[in-house]
Amino acid sequence: MGENNGEFISLPYYDKRNFLALKKRKFGDGHNNVDMSLHDDVLYWGAKSGEMEITKVNDNWPEGTFSFIAANSKSDKTMSITNGVFSVSLE
């Protein structure tokens, strides 16, 4: 989970072996969950489509990119997240 001033994006992670085994993951209906919380009128968003790709693994630090289109149950609005990057410790 990445957090900034109370807003966050949470990418799917189940266990280290499973996380590192797949280089690319699809998001959305019936796939891995992505949650996002923003200081807006909606508050909670979930990915309805998108993907995450692991581009580098160094010891216990995978790095990668992600993008997704988020939706919510309170409105018809969607939000497009592009050019996301992550670097996270799996220890």
- Residue 39 has what pLDDT? 78
The pLDDT tens digits of the residues spanning 77-87 come to 898 999 999 88
Q: What average pLDDT does the chain have? A: 81
What total of structural domains would you count in the chain? 1
Question: 43 — phi, psi (to 5°)?
Answer: 80, -60
Q: What DSSP state is assigned to residue 14?
A: -
Q: Which domain holds residue 59?
A: 2-87
Question: Could you tell me which residues are beta bridge partners of residue 64?
Answer: 54, 86
Contacts 24+ apart (CB under 8 A), 44-50: 44/72, 45/70, 45/71, 45/72, 45/79, 46/70, 46/71, 46/72, 48/78, 50/26, 50/81
The pLDDT tens digits of the residues spanning 28-56 come to 766 567 888 887 777 788 888 899 898 88
